[in-house]
C-alpha cells in the first residue's frame, strides 16, 4: 500500500490528425477494416515527446497548484525519447523550470503503470511531490508503407502530479511483469521502424493483461465487481474486450480513447484516465484498475483508490 495521491492531471496531443480515410490513400487499407479490427478511427501524429510532455506537465502542475521548485522528481516514461542522450526528462525539466532529479523509464506500453508504481515507492521513501509523464511519438518510428502497423499507432502525452498524503493509502495493489522471451514479436531497432507479429502480440496481450490485473486485484484484496473503472492500455478494443471478459468486468466500466488516439504507448493510460475524469466518470473512493501490456512483453497493473484533493 502506498500513500501518493494524484492532485493534478493534463494531456497533450499534437495538432495533426490522420483519419482512417487519410491512411487509405497511403496504403491498401480501409476505414471499415481498421475500425473492425482495432476500433481506431483517427490518431494524432507528428508529435515530439519533449514538447507534448512539457505542455501536459506544465498544465498538471498548474492544476495541482504547485510551483516548479516544489517538484521533487520528474519521471518520464517513454519508448520514443527525442535523442539517445541526454534523457528527454532532462530537456523537459529545463523547459518546465524544475530544480529536481529527472529520468526516463522505458517499459514500452506498460510504461505509465511502471512509472506510477516507481513513483509511489519514492513517496513511501519520503519524497513529497513527483511529476509523472507518459509520452510517446510513435508516428516517428512507424513504417508508413506497412499497413499491418501504421494504422495502429499515434502520438500523445499524459501527465499526473503525485503528492504524498498521510490519509488512506491510494495504491492498494500492483503487479509488474516482463517476459523477455517474447522480445522478437514486437520491436524497433535503433534507427529502424516498428516490427510486429500482430496475431501473436494479440494472443499474449490478452493473457498478460488478464494475469497482471488479477495479480494486482489479489494483492489489493479487491474483487473484480468492486472495481469502479478499468483504465487499460489502448491498443485494440478487441484486446480490451477479450481481457475484460476473462476478468468478468463489463465493458461499460472501461475508459476508451483509442478510437481517436490510436495506440500511444506510454501515453495511452493517462490519456484514458484524464478522459474519464473529464467526463466525471470517477468519484472519490472509486477503485481504478489500470492495466497495460506491450513490447517485452511487459505488463503492469495497479489498483488505485481515487483520493482527489479537496477543492
Name which of 33 and 306 has its Cβ closer to ligand UT7: 33
In degrees, rounded to 5, the angle at the alpha carbon of residue 278 between the alpha carbons of residues 258 and 175 is 60
The Cα 174–Cα 103 span in angstroms is: 22
Please pick, among 188, 211, 233, 236, the residue that the annotation labels catalytic: 233
Name which of 29 and 243 has its Cβ closer to ligand UT7: 29
**Does residue 90 sit in helix, strand or coil?**
helix
**Does the protein bind ligand UT7 through residue 241 (CB under 6 A)?**
no
Site string for ligand UT7, 263-282 (x = CB under 6 A): x-------------------
Name which of 147 and 260 has its Cβ closer to ligand UT7: 147
Active site (annotated) includes residue 20: no
Please pick, among 109, 150, 211, 236, the residue that the annotation labels catalytic: 109
Active site (annotated) includes residue 109: yes
The Cα 247–Cα 217 span in angstroms is: 10
C-alpha torsion angle, residues 241, 242, 244, 245 (rounded to 10): 110
Q: Which of 74, 116, 119, 201 binds ligand UT7 (CB under 6 A)?
A: 201
**What angle, rounded to 10 degrees, do the helices at 198-220 and 237-247 form?**
40
Residue that has been written with the C-alpha cell 497495460 in this structure:
292
Active site (annotated) includes residue 263: yes
Which residues have CB under 8 Å from 39's CB, separation 6+?
A: 236, 237, 238, 256, 258, 259
Name which of 148 and 222 has its Cβ closer to ligand UT7: 148
**What angle, rounded to 10 degrees, do the helices at 88-96 and 49-64 form?**
50
Q: Which of 144, 187, 202, 306 binds ligand UT7 (CB under 6 A)?
A: 202
**Does the protein bind ligand UT7 through residue 236 (CB under 6 A)?**
yes
The gap from C-alpha 281 to its chain's centroid, in whole angstroms, comes to 18
Tell me which residue has its CB nearest to ligand UT7. 198
Summarize as ranges the residues that interact with ligand UT7 (CB under 6 A). 29, 33-34, 37-38, 109, 147-148, 151, 196, 198-199, 201-202, 205, 235-236, 239, 263, 294
Q: Would you name the residues annotated as active-site residues? A: 109, 233, 263
Amino acid at each position: 500500500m502506498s500513500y501518493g495521491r494524484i492532485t493534478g492531471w493534463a494531456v497533450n496531443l499534437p495538432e495533426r490528425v490522420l483519419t482512417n480515410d487519410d491512411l487509405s490513400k497511403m496504403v491498401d487499407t480501409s476505414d471499415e477494416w481498421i475500425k473492425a479490427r482495432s476500433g481506431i478511427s483517427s490518431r494524432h501524429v507528428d508529435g515530439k515527446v519533449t514538447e507534448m510532455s512539457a505542455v501536459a506537465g506544465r498544465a498538471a502542475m498548474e492544476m495541482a497548484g504547485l510551483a516548479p521548485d516544489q517538484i521533487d522528481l520528474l519521471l518520464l516514461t517513454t519508448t520514443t525519447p527525442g535523442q539517445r542522450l541526454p534523457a528527454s526528462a532532462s530537456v523537459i525539466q529545463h523547459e518546465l523550470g524544475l530544480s529536481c532529479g529527472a529520468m526516463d523509464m522505458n517499459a514500452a506500453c506498460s510504461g505509465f503503470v511502471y512509472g506510477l508504481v516507481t513513483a509511489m515507492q519514492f513517496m513511501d521513501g519520503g519524497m513529497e511531490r513527483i511529476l509523472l509523464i507518459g509520452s510517446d511519438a510513435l508516428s516517428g518510428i512507424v513504417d508508413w508503407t506497412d499497413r499491418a502497423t501504421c494504422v495502429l499507432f499515434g502520438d500523445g502525452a499524459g501527465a499526473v502530479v503525485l503528492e504524498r498524503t498521510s490519509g488512506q493509502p491510494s495504491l492498494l495493489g500492483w503487479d509488474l511483469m516482463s517476459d523477455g522471451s517474447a522480445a522478437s514479436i514486437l520491436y524497433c531497432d535503433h534507427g529502424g521502424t516498428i516490427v510486429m507479429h500482430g496475431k501473436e502480440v494479440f494472443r499474449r496481450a490478452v493473457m498478460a493483461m488478464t494475469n497482471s490485473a488479477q495479480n494486482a486485484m489479489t494483492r489489493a484484496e479487491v474483487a473484480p465487481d468492486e472495481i469502479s473503472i478499468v483504465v487499460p492500455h489502448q491498443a485494440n478494443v478487441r484486446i480490451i474486450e477479450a481481457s475484460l471478459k476473462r476478468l468478468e468486468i463489463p465493458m461499460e466500466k472501461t475508459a476508451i480513447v483509442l478510437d481517436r488516439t490510436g495506440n500511444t504507448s506510454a501515453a495511452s493510460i493517462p490519456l484514458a484516465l484524464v478522459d474519464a475524469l473529464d467526463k466525471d466518470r470517477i468519484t472519490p473512493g472509486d477503485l481504478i484498475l489500470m492495466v497495460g501490456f506491450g513490447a517485452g512483453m511487459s505488463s503492469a497493473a495497479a489498483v488505485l483508490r481515487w483520493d482527489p484533493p479537496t477543492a
